Amino acid sequence: MAETILATVQVAALLSVLVATYAALRMVRVLSQQVGIQAGAVARAVDLGQAQRRDGVRPVLAVAMH
């Protein structure tokens, strides 16, 4: 009788660990996707900033060349 109860408790503990591990891995996956989205947004912002600097320099170069 005691062995059956112990085995049941061990199986329940194992299932709890599996569920917690799955939830943790799922959360890591979601967070990594969000970090990727954020990195893409930062890259786009950097590209836009560089384009604005280039566009700001072009008139100065045109005047300097004439």
What was the pLDDT predicted at 55? 81
Q: 24-34: per-residue pLDDT in tens?
A: 999 999 999 99
Q: Is the full-model pTM beyond 0.75? A: no
Average pLDDT rounded to a whole number, residues 38-64? 85
Residue 11 lies in a domain: no
Nearest to 19 by CA among 7, 31, 11, 29: 11
Q: What's the domain range around 54?
A: 24-66
Residue type, 41: A
Q: How many folded domains does the chain comprise? A: 1
Radius of gyration of the chain measured on its C-alpha atoms? 29
Does 50 fall in a domain?
yes
Q: Could you tell me if residue 5 is inside a domain?
A: no
Residue 10 lies in a domain: no
Closest CA relative to residue 40, chosen from 32, 52, 28: 32
Q: Tell me whether residue 30 is in a domain.
A: yes
Residue 66's pLDDT is 59
